[in-house]
Amino acid sequence: MSDKERGIHELYANNPYEADELVWGRKSNPLTRRGFLKNSGLTAMTAAVGASIPFAHLMPGGLIPAALAQSDEGFQIPGKEGLIILNDRPVNAETPAHLLDDDITPAKHLFIRNNGTPPSNANINPDLWTCEFGGESAKTPQSFTVAELKKRFKHYTYQLQLECGGNGRNEFVPPTSGNQWSIGAVGCPEWTGVRLKDVLDVVGIKKDAVYVAYYGADTHLSGDPKKEPISRGVPVYKALEDETLIAWAMNGEDIPHMNGYPLRLVCAGWPGSVSGKWLNRIVVRNQVHDGEKMTGTSYRVPCKPVAPGSEVPEDQMCIIESMPVKSLITHPASGIEHDRAKKLAIRGHAWAGDLDVKNVHVSIDFGATWQKAHLEAPVNRFAWQHWKSNVGFPSAGYFEIWVRATDSAGRAQPMVLPGWNPKGYLNNACHRIAVQVV
């Protein structure tokens, strides 16, 4: 496991002065117990503790900030509850399945996927925050503040599902590098904003336009202002869909800081990485966007199936577009005891990228037989669909409940693992929970 994937307490327990440099970029002297905190490190630390640190220059080296050290659960994220921290630098955290039981994902339970250091919350004025629109295929480059976007364009609210492209990565064999997500890098809140298509209609798109891409105000972990942590995009047709929003609100309130406050792009159905956070620039390109994490193997899978563990040349890797069909059991939590005399009520959600979910089935015999679950229609395009069922058990003992969704094109989830790929993307294997029947 790399240092970027280890928790802050583990790092400081092993070598506190080395941890200072790994986590904050701070050079610390074990003899004097003083540390020099670079600007990028100070920004990261203030984001982690949720406030400015007036006496940061006097902070002893080798110490975890007390706001983090004195927590029973270790590293905490303001406004979030129950998330599992996968990474401290940058912050990445997923949500246990049973905490995703709400029809609309609450802000406190929406996962976090960062590539760089977020802008300091203390320096954000939401009304004056500006997003530029330009690029070689934009007719009339111009800028809008959040206040101007709110005033000039019609507001829309949609429930839109976001899922990290690497959700489920920890199940691939042989293992692949990156955040070892299990099943919780997904959520479906309500988003409010303006349609990207309406703003681009004012800016104007030239006939040679191919891609629309974003830039955000987060900074590269190295602190180098010339480096972008991430800048991705989508083909023009995807950008111009009705549900692609420039959003300032989530569930009727400001977007949480770690989820992109005060402005973000929401482009549902494709990997969450195309929905840029801390949005400050949109570009219309006359080529496939070549920003950070658009080239090489980032968010790409082999164009054709490969054997597990294969090395795949870059020119044989294709950009991920629509996410595959997937489902989740959100109630009950895995590991419960259940009385054999009663049926067990189970429920969850299902989604299918650009498509709808056609049906959902559940199994208690490791996929040998399946029973159809009741499935609801989505509240709008790109919202996940809720399902529910009641299952009985033939005897006492250990059982697993599996869930499998099928999309509107007839594609069903694989029971175990889909095709292996070098970066561990697109695992849509059946979710399963354990039940002890007594």
Instruction: For residues 292 and 154, state if they share a domain.
Output: yes
| Any domain includes 205 | yes
Catalogue the long-range contacts made by 104-107 (C-beta closer than 8 Å, 24 or more residues apart). Answer: 104/159, 104/188, 104/189, 104/190, 104/251, 105/187, 105/188, 105/189, 106/189, 106/251, 107/79, 107/189, 107/250, 107/251, 107/253, 107/256, 107/259
pLDDT, residue 358, reads: 98
| Confidence at 437, pLDDT banded by 50, 70, 90 | very high
Instruction: For residues 331 and 298, state if they share a domain.
Output: no
Beta carbons within 8 Å of 89's beta carbon, 6+ residues apart: 4, 22, 23, 24, 44, 221
Q: What is the mean pLDDT of residues 123-134?
A: 95
76-80, 89-93, 404-408: which range is least confident on average? 76-80
| Any domain includes 103 | no
| Any domain includes 106 | no
Alpha helices by DSSP H, 32-96? 39-49, 66-69
CATH number of the domain bearing residue 193? 3.90.420.10
- Higher local confidence (pLDDT), 86 or 329: 329
Considering 298, 319, 340, which residue would you say is the last residue of a domain?
Answer: 319
pLDDT, residue 78, reads: 83
> What count of residues does the chain have?
438
| Any domain includes 107 | no
pLDDT, residue 297, reads: 93
| Any domain includes 84 | no
pLDDT of 30 higher than 70: no
| Any domain includes 148 | yes
74-88, 159-173, 303-317, 371-385: which range is least confident on average? 74-88
Instruction: For residues 280 and 356, state if they share a domain.
Output: no
Query: How many domains, in total, are found in the chain?
Result: 3
CA 23, distance to chain mean position in Å, is: 21
Mean pLDDT of the chain: 90
Instruction: For residues 248 and 278, state if they share a domain.
Output: yes
String of b and e for 299-311 (b: at least 16 CB within 10 Å)? Answer: bbbbeeebeeeee
Instruction: For residues 161 and 263, state if they share a domain.
Output: yes
Q: What is the pLDDT of residues 229-287, one digit of tens each?
A: 999 999 999 999 999 999 999 999 999 999 999 999 999 999 999 999 999 999 999 99
Whole-number Å distance between alpha carbons of 300 and 426: 10
Instruction: For residues 409 and 338, state if they share a domain.
Output: yes
| Confidence at 85, pLDDT banded by 50, 70, 90 | confident
CA angle at residue 86 from 114 to 406, to 5 degrees? 80
pLDDT of 73 higher than 80: no
- 432 bridge partner residues: 402
Considering 23, 43, 76, which residue would you say is the last residue of a domain?
Answer: 76
Instruction: For residues 241 and 343, state if they share a domain.
Output: no
Instruction: For residues 250 and 330, state if they share a domain.
Output: no
CA angle at residue 173 from 172 to 175, to 5 degrees? 75
Instruction: For residues 200 and 330, state if they share a domain.
Output: no
pTM of the model: 0.84
Instruction: For residues 389 and 407, state if they share a domain.
Output: yes
Q: What is the pLDDT of residues 344-378, one digit of tens each?
A: 999 999 999 999 999 999 999 999 999 999 999 99
| Confidence at 28, pLDDT banded by 50, 70, 90 | low
What token pair was written down for 71?
A: 């927590």
120-124, 158-162, 248-252, 288-292: which range is least confident on average? 120-124
pLDDT, residue 72, reads: 40
| Any domain includes 70 | yes
Q: In 3D, which of 315, 263, 273, 3 has the Cα closest to residue 133?
A: 263
Instruction: For residues 59 and 158, state if they share a domain.
Output: no
pLDDT, residue 8, reads: 61
Whole-number Å distance between alpha carbons of 242 and 142: 22
**Residue ranges with strand state E in 58-172:** 84-88, 91-94, 112-113, 130-134, 142-145, 156-159, 162-163
| Confidence at 89, pLDDT banded by 50, 70, 90 | confident
Domain that includes residue 7, residue range: 3-76
CATH number of the domain bearing residue 376? 2.60.40.650
Sheet containing strand 371-372, strands side by side:
336-338, 431-437, 397-407, 357-363, 371-372
Whole-number Å distance between alpha carbons of 207 and 405: 39
Considering 319, 341, 357, which residue would you say is the last residue of a domain?
Answer: 319
| Any domain includes 184 | yes
Instruction: For residues 146 and 289, state if they share a domain.
Output: yes
CA angle at residue 217 from 212 to 219, to 5 degrees? 115
Alpha helices by DSSP H, 72-209? 146-152, 196-203
- Higher local confidence (pLDDT), 23 or 216: 216
